[in-house]
Amino acid sequence: MELIIVGSGTGVPSLRRGSPGYGVRAGGKLVFLDLGPGVLRAMLRYGLNFSEIDALCLTHLHPDHVGDLVPFLFATRYALGYTRKEPFHLLAARGFQEFYGNLRKAFGQWVEPPPGLMQLRELDPARTEEAALGELVIKSAATNHTDHSLAFRVEAAGKALVYSGDTDESASLVELAKGADLLVLECANPFKVPGHLTPAEAGRLAAQAGVPRLVLSHFYPPCDEVDIAALAATEFPGEIIKAEDGMKVVL
């Protein structure tokens, strides 16, 4: 299993950090976690082809996490650029159907992939859900951010990775992450902002989950002015990695 960090930033424009987007290669599949603005183009820089996405998992519907969804859906309509023939899966929380319906009202057929290409599934934030793609399994659980925010767990070949999306401290996220080999947590600011984690909170959550490795990501600019890994280490004894765009982590 390999994690490719395409965007380690937020909605704030940055030359260093793009908006959220994370690729996971596992079980012969490419899973993509969030699709912020600019992620499609950045994928090319890191050797990823949007035609290869087998599952697109959206943690929530804030613009910095779904900004490239419309361009992605639009691009699937053009065989000169999008070469995929087999269906891809789109996983999102309950309420996405309404959101997508509003997109269709705004853009019409231009955001409708060819018939049968997109397999859309809404997930219930009130319980752990599971989707299987061959030997790969994706699980979801609610996080403490919006009413319809999810974290995702990707499992294959005895390895597991969990990605929080945006969250405050969350018992359901801790439960989802137990036994995982790698936990990717948002760490938006070194000071407290409701709905997000500080470095120390991220470290504490990782310690509660008992994971061996922690990736901190989703940084607003103040995070690059302090040693956030050291702050997280006050609560977490394992390996801490500060995300950078283009970074690859092998499990």
Give percent of the chain with pLDDT exceeding 70. 100
Q: How far apart are CA 77 and CA 54, in angstroms?
A: 16
Q: Where are the alpha helices (DSSP H) in 29-184?
A: 39-45, 63-66, 69-75, 96-107, 171-177
Catalogue all structural domains in the chain, each as residue range(s) with its CATH number.
2-250 (3.60.15.10)
Nearest C-alpha neighbor of 57 from the set 123, 136, 156, 113: 123
Strands (E), the chain: 2-7, 21-26, 29-33, 55-57, 88-93, 118-123, 129-133, 136-142, 150-156, 159-163, 182-186, 213-217, 239-242, 248-250
Residue 86 has a pLDDT of 95
The C-alpha angle with vertex 64 and arms to 74 and 170, in degrees rounded to 5, equals 125
* Percent with pLDDT over 90 in the chain: 99
**Over the stretch 17-65, which tens digit does the pLDDT of each residue have?**
999 999 999 999 999 999 999 999 999 999 999 999 999 999 999 999 9
Beta bridge partners of 31: 24, 55
Residue 113, pLDDT score: 97
pLDDT, average across residues 189-213: 98
Which tokens belong to 175?
């439960």
What pLDDT does residue 183 have?
98
pLDDT of amino acid 79: 86
